[in-house]
Structure formats: C-alpha cells, structure tokens
C-alpha cells in the first residue's frame, strides 16, 4: 500500500475489541489486552517511520474503574510491565511519552512507572506518544473550567489536561463501534473519524495505513467554503 501524501499531525486511537478478541479464542480478557500491546507497538513504529509527530491512545477510561476488580488490577500490572519494557526502546528511537488523565486515581506503582518513563523520554523529539489513563472528556472539561474560574481566565484550552498537545486531526476507533465514548470531547470538534471493524489486537501497520488513506481522501473545510 502506498504512503498517503497528506498525513495527520496527530492521530488518536480508541483501542476497542480486546475482550471480544480473547473471547473468540476462548481466552481470558487480559490475554486480549496483552496482544493489544503488540498493536500499540506496531502503530508507534509505523507513526515514527511516517513522520507523524503525535500519536495518542485511549488506554483506560474513568468508566473502566467500574470493571471487575481482578481485571482492573491485571490491567494496572500489565501497564506497569509494558511501560518498563518499552522505556529503553523509546529513548533509543526518540519517542517521548506523556500520560494524560486523572492521576489521583492511579495506583502508586503505576504512577512511579509513568514518572520514570516521562523523565527518561523528556528530551526525545522524534515523536510523542500520549497515553490517556483514567481519563474522560467530561472530567477534563470540568476540571479545566474549575481551574479557569480560579485563575480568572476566559479561555478554557490552556487548562485542559491536553494543554500543549495539538488537537487530533484523525481519530480511529476499532472493533466496529461508532461512538467516541467520552473521549476528548472538546478537542475533537473538527477531528476526522474513521471507524474500522478490525478488533484492536488484530490492528497492525496495514490497517493503520488504510485509515490514513481514508483520512487523506477527506476534504477538511473547518466550516469554511472552498
């Protein structure tokens, strides 16, 4: 497949379908999440090769805290292992990682792994991977509005959890679901959406390039007439 001539500066992905992928194979849900990490690795690699400057992934929503305790605990441990495993490779390849979300709810071991990764990759300039953890769009707008009022400001954007990160040009959601599930409600006002049927653990470079091709075919007018 040819590389699209028009590439987004920021691609964000709602990684959906890990549980269904595991269930189809008679495995536990955590196995699906583990395989999903391979998809993250593939998309990060492809983004770096293509020159996409920002890639973000919706890893864990505030609503996900309502899942069974065992699954949440397993996910937290999996995230810690994944962060520690990828750290050296990110530094080598110039990938900066940022975590956005309500950190007050994250376990201490997760916060420590995040801090170590963010510190280690702070000087990396090749691309930025933004991981949304314990995040919801409503929470983001509410906390930003509160902080804006306290500061006596009149522009909410500098107070959003994503301040300093460009709004996404393209949002991809896997598994056939066609909704944004309380994700970056403010920031996606003019984002192009691409919904694909592929379950996240099966999403690799080929599927990513197909979504980029779809984006490249869109005529983005931002409310203007061309």
Catalytic residue list: 16, 64
Hey, what are 46's tokens?
Answer: 């492809």
Q: Are 215 and 170 in contact (CB under 8 A)?
A: yes
**Sequence-ordered list of residues with C-beta below 8 angstroms from that of 212, at least 6 positions apart, any chain:** 3, 4, 7, 8, 11, 50, 170
Buried b (16+ CB within 10 A) or exposed e, 143-179: ebeeebeeeeeeebeebbbbeebebbbbbbbbbeeee
Cβ proximity of 83 and 115 under 8 Å: no
- Alpha helices per DSSP H over 62-219: 69-93, 108-121, 137-151, 205-216
DSSP tag of 98: E
Structure tokens at 152: 């006596």
- Residue 128's SS3 state is strand
């Amino acid at each position: 497949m040819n590389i699209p001539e028009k590439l987004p500066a920021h691609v964000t992905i709602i990684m959906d379908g890990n549980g269904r992928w595991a269930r189809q194979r008679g495995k536990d849900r955590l196995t699906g999440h583990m395989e999903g990490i391979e998809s993250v690795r593939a998309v990060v690699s492809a983004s770096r090769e293509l020159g996409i400057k920002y890639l973000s992934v919706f890893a864990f929503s505030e609503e996900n805290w309502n899942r069974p305790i065992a699954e949440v605990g397993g996910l937290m441990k999996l995230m810690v292992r994944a962060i520690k495993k990828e750290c050296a490779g990110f530094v080598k390849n110039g990938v900066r990682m940022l975590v956005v979300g309500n950190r007050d709810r994250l376990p201490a071991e997760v916060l420590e792994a995040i801090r170590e990764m963010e510190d280690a990759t702070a000087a990396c300039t090749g691309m930025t991977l933004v991981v949304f953890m314990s995040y919801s769009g409503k929470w983001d707008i509410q906390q930003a509005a509160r902080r804006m009022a306290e500061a006596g400001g009149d522009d909410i954007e500098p107070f959003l959890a994503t301040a300093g990160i460009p709004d996404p040009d393209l949002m991809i959601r896997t598994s056939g679901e066609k909704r944004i599930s309380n994700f970056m409600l403010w920031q996606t006002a003019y984002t192009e959406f691409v919904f694909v049927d592929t379950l996240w653990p099966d999403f690799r470079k080929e599927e990513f390039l197909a979504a980029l091709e779809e984006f490249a075919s869109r005529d983005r007018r931002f409310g203007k007439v061309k």
